[in-house]
Structure 1
Amino acid sequence: MAYQTLQPEYLQIPIVTRAYTTACVLTTAAVQLEIITPFQLYFNPDLILRNYQVWRLITNFLFFGPVGFNFLFNMIFLYRYCRMLEEGSFRGRTADFVFMFLFGGLLMTIFGTFVSLVFLGQAFTIMLVYVWSRRNPNVRMNFFGLLNFQAPFLPWVLMGFSLLLGNSVIVDLLGIAVGHVYFFLEDVFPNQPGGGRWLKTPSIIKMLFDTAEEDANYNPLPEERPGGFAWGEGQRLGG
């Protein structure tokens, strides 16, 4: 009965958000059950180039650490803002959203090589939050009922909170930097005098992902409730 109830809700999640969050949850579950270990997942250029362990280019984006507050916090933000982007500015543009994933992941991998980061999932989440926040600059946010601010400040507030949790500031700065590069090339530079669109989704990606028709019964998450999760004392992140 529970499966029959959850299945329609699960299938209503847009495809990119559904695929990525599911992969993250399954990867973490596999580590918790000791089917695999983090040592088989982390980003290591030497193992990728010399031993052809190319899966590490992907798996380092899927593991957020052991199940705990930090994992749940990251997964909530990943799911929420990935879905709002896919249902908002990328609605009907699945191929462009996939291309943003590929562009962001590639740039993050290159930058991550120089700062010796072995897992990039949290940085990727911050990138998604950054792009959403810049495309929704007038949305008012509320964080734990303590801070009120405009959406563009959200990545920086999350970075401060991440520091309180003992995480490295480099991870968040990397996500912000990559998110800004994408936002500038996609939203700012094309509208400047003499500017142009440098980021163009390859036709093969469009052919693969932009073929499905929209579902008439599709229910997107409401944009007016960014965050949309209770954080104690009835407070919501956003709203």
Structure 2
Amino acid sequence: MPVGIEAWVTQIPPITRGWLVLSVLTSLAVQTQLVTPLQLYFSPKSFLNGQPWRAGTTFFYFGPISLDFVFHLFFFMRYSRMLEESSFPNRRADYFWLLLLSSVMLLALSPLFNLPFLSSSLAFVPIYLWSRRHPSTPISLFGLFTITAPYLPIALVAFSWILNGTWKAAAGDLVGCAVGHVGWFLRDVWTREMMGGPTVFSEAPVRLKRLFGDE
């Protein structure tokens, strides 16, 4: 790996970095025909019939290397990194726990919306959560126009729709926004404002914190 790229990758916080690396490696494996998408997608039937890895690989395949692949990977990496750095500094277990709970919700919703691949859906969770936590931040989209952060998720969904030419391509992104909203409500509204203290939705279990070295 060239020194410049290696330095850039090592500067990315650990959870986002691991997700990014696994996603790139998964797409490269498909591109080089080491595996096929048919071996990676999630379906309850396949999962229960002795193929448990599908519950993980569905979150790392963003599709073949294309403009849509670059679009989703870039915005996921950018806002996942910003969220991890601003809201979860030195709290790797808590950020992993957020993504894990979101993944479980997405797996449960997958059959209802016919979503065999959930990578872009999960990517929209940190995008949505970051946008709600920075409501007054102005964002320039592609240098064309400026919006405030709360409008970022819907703007990206619209762009994904335009990019792919069909609303079905953006359905997973919308589901990700919905799960992100649930996560935001449970962490920032219910836990902080209504409960007044940490809950299972806002903090990782002690064993997970120890595993990540956060305690």
RMSD (Å), alpha carbons: 1.7
Residue in 2 aligned with 1:206? 209
Is the 1:14–1:87 contact (alpha carbons within 8 Å) kept by the matching residues of 2? yes
Residue in 1 aligned with 2:101? 103
More helix by share: 2
Question: In the TM superposition, what are the counterparts of 1:17-56 in structure 2 within 5 Å?
Answer: 17-50=16-49, 52-56=50-54
| Unaligned stretches of 5+ residues in structure 1 | 213-239
CA distance 1:7–1:160, shift in 2 (3 Å): closer
The 3-state SS of whatever aligns with 1:192 is helix
Is the 1:139–1:151 contact (alpha carbons within 8 Å) kept by the matching residues of 2? yes
The 3-state SS of whatever aligns with 2:87 is coil
Is the 1:93–1:210 contact (alpha carbons within 8 Å) kept by the matching residues of 2? no
Q: Does 1:180 align with 2:181?
A: yes
Residue in 2 aligned with 1:60? 58
CA distance 1:143–1:183, shift in 2 (3 Å): same
Question: What displacement does 1:159 show?
Answer: 1.0
Is the 1:61–1:124 contact (alpha carbons within 8 Å) kept by the matching residues of 2? yes
**Alignment partner of 1:86 out of 64, 80, 84:** 84
Is the 2:140–2:147 contact (alpha carbons within 8 Å) kept by the matching residues of 1? yes
Using structure 1 for the length normalisation, give the TM-score: 0.83
The 3-state SS of whatever aligns with 1:210 is coil
Question: What displacement does 1:4 show?
Answer: 3.6
Is the 2:90–2:214 contact (alpha carbons within 8 Å) kept by the matching residues of 1? no
Is the 2:93–2:214 contact (alpha carbons within 8 Å) kept by the matching residues of 1? no
Deviation per CA, 1:24-65: give whole Å up to 9, x if none.
000000000001000000011101102x10100010111111
Question: What displacement does 1:147 show?
Answer: 2.6
Deviation per CA, 1:77-108: give whole Å up to 9, x if none.
11111111111111111110010010010011
Deviation per CA, 1:96-144: give whole Å up to 9, x if none.
0010010010011101121111001111111110001001111001212
Letter matched to residue 128 of structure 2: Y
Question: What displacement does 1:14 show?
Answer: 1.3
**Higher Cα radius of gyration:** 1
CA distance 1:69–1:211, shift in 2 (3 Å): same
The 3-state SS of whatever aligns with 2:146 is strand
Residue in 2 aligned with 1:122? 120
Question: C-alpha distance in 2, partners of 1:211/1:186?
Answer: 19
Question: C-alpha distance in 1, partners of 2:60/2:149?
Answer: 26
**23-32 or 143-152: which moved more?**
143-152
CA distance 1:183–1:5, shift in 2 (3 Å): same
**158-167 or 53-62: which moved more?**
158-167
